[in-house]
């Protein structure tokens, strides 16, 4: 048995309570991973929690990811004895050693500072590493960056590798009012009653925007550290299939309820997942 409990919340929406290292090898190939593993010892996850070795989990994710699939890996480093741990870098390099591309090193800019220090600039960001198996199969870039020169015509030069210049491609073309978003995202993460009890809920807009960017309708999105279920809500709201894994029974129950509630309130113009087939479960 690779799990303690299994809930089919809808056709194509399944949540497991168990160890993701045991569950992941049993899954069909998936198209995207949207996750935020526990970061070093920055948060207290309760009695019995002694940290997570993410390297073998990254290995499993790389093996299960489909060609063109993407992993969004949101992490940060703990400062210990005046030095950042560097855990995030080791994880990124391990993903590359598993044959994945480090497609983009994106930054989650926080609006608030949680752990200010007296002798360094206030830490206010986390990494959102984007790993891919080959070139990403899907990219629907969000275009909400306000262009300063929107409405005017493009002009200027680009610099070659040898230092010479050349006429910029697209000269004379009209610059749109809004362009592609930068790879640093300013995200608010308000705590709500829905995520009460979880020490580090994922920002909903982070999950929603990444899933919209790197997956397509019908894609299978996986979160091996489901927590309070935010990634699952963002996935089902966009018509994606979803598989979540959470080892803690309390967080598992919270995630199941939140995703179930989201399934009852589908977004307009998106076909929601169909109700789950009711079958007996053998544990």
Q: In this model, does residue 259 exceed pLDDT 70?
A: yes
Shared domain check, 200 and 89: yes
Q: How many helices (DSSP H) and strands (DSSP E) are in the chain? A: 6, 15
The tens digit of pLDDT for each residue in 92-124 reads 999 999 999 999 999 999 887 766 778 888 888
Question: What does the alpha-carbon distance between residue 73 and residue 16 come to, in Å, rounded to a whole number?
Answer: 20
Q: For all residues of the chain together, what is the average pLDDT? A: 87
Determine the Cα angle at 91 with ends 199 and 86, to 5°. 75
Q: What is the pLDDT of residue 149?
A: 83
The domain total for the chain is 2
From 180, 205, 239, give the residue that closes a domain: 180
Shared domain check, 208 and 109: yes
DSSP 274: P
Higher pLDDT, 195 or 203: 203
Shared domain check, 133 and 207: yes
* Domain assignment of residue 58, yes or no: yes
Q: What is the pLDDT of residue 51?
A: 62
* Domain assignment of residue 49, yes or no: yes
* Domain assignment of residue 273, yes or no: no
The tens digit of pLDDT for each residue in 161-202 reads 888 888 877 787 888 889 999 999 999 866 655 555 545 689
From 180, 197, 226, give the residue that closes a domain: 180
Q: In this model, does residue 273 exceed pLDDT 90?
A: no
Shared domain check, 38 and 19: yes
Question: What does the alpha-carbon distance between residue 126 and residue 227 come to, in Å, rounded to a whole number?
Answer: 18
Shared domain check, 110 and 49: yes
- List CB contacts of 15: < 8 A, sequence separation 6 or more: 6, 7, 9, 226, 229, 232, 243, 244, 245, 246, 252, 255, 256, 259
Shared domain check, 163 and 42: no
Contact by Cβ (8 Å): 201, 195: yes
* Domain assignment of residue 163, yes or no: yes
Burial status of residue 2 (CB atoms within 10 A of its CB: 0-12, 13-18, 19 or more): middle
From 180, 201, 228, give the residue that closes a domain: 180
**E-strand spans in the chain?**
5-10, 13-17, 30-35, 65-75, 79-80, 83-84, 101-110, 125-132, 145-146, 157-159, 165-167, 178-179, 184-187, 220-223, 241-246
* Domain assignment of residue 275, yes or no: no
Residue 93 Cα to chain centre, angstroms: 18
Percentage of the chain modeled with pLDDT above 70:
84
Shared domain check, 161 and 66: no
Q: How many CB atoms lie within 10 A of CB 79?
A: 15
Instruction: List the domain range (segments joined by +) for residue 223.
Output: 5-142+181-263
Shared domain check, 113 and 236: yes
* Domain assignment of residue 203, yes or no: yes
List strands edge to edge, sheet with 5-10: 5-10, 13-17, 241-246, 220-223, 30-35, 65-75, 125-132, 101-110, 184-187
* Domain assignment of residue 281, yes or no: no
Task: Give residue 283's pLDDT band: very low, low, confident or very high (50, 70, 90).
Answer: very low
* Domain assignment of residue 103, yes or no: yes
Shared domain check, 91 and 40: yes
Shared domain check, 190 and 85: yes
Residue listed under structure tokens 């910029």 = 168
> Nearest 5°: phi and psi at 209?
-70, -35
Q: What is the pLDDT of residue 41?
A: 66
Shared domain check, 253 and 125: yes
| H runs (alpha helix) in 48-132 | 55-64, 87-97
Shared domain check, 186 and 118: yes
Percentage of the chain modeled with pLDDT above 90:
63
Closest of 258, 266, 267, 259 to residue 194, by C-alpha: 258
The tens digit of pLDDT for each residue in 123-141 reads 889 999 999 999 999 999 9
């Amino acid at each position: 048995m690779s799990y303690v409990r299994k809930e089919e919340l809808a056709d194509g929406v399944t949540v497991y309570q168990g160890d993701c290292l045991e569950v992941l090898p049993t899954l069909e190939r998936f198209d995207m991973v949207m996750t935020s593993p526990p970061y070093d010892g920055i948060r207290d996850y309760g009695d019995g929690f002694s940290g997570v070795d993410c390297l073998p989990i990254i290995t499993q994710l790389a093996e299960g990811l489909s060609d063109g699939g993407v992993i969004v890996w949101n992490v940060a480093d703990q400062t210990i004895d005046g030095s950042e741990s560097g855990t995030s870098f080791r994880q990124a390099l391990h993903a590359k050693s598993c044959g994945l591309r480090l497609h983009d090193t994106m930054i989650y800019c926080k609006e608030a500072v949680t752990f200010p220090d007296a002798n360094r600039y206030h830490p206010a960001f986390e990494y959102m590493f984007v790993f891919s198996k080959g070139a990403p199969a899907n990219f629907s870039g969000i275009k909400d960056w306000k262009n300063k020169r929107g409405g005017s015509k493009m002009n200027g030069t680009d610099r070659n590798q040898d230092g010479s210049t050349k006429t910029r491609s697209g000269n004379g073309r009209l610059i749109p009012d809004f362009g592609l978003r930068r790879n640093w995202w300013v995200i608010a993460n308000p705590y709500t009653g829905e995520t009460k009890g979880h020490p580090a809920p994922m920002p909903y807009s982070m999950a929603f925007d990444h899933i919209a960017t790197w997956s397509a309708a019908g894609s299978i999105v996986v979160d091996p550290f489901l927590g309070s279920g935010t990634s699952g809500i963002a996935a089902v709201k966009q018509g994606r299939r979803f598989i979540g894994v959470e080892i803690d029974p309390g967080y598992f129950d919270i995630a199941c309820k939140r995703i179930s509630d989201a399934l009852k309130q589908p977004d307009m113009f998106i076909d929601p997942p169909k109700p789950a087939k009711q079958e007996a479960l053998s544990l």
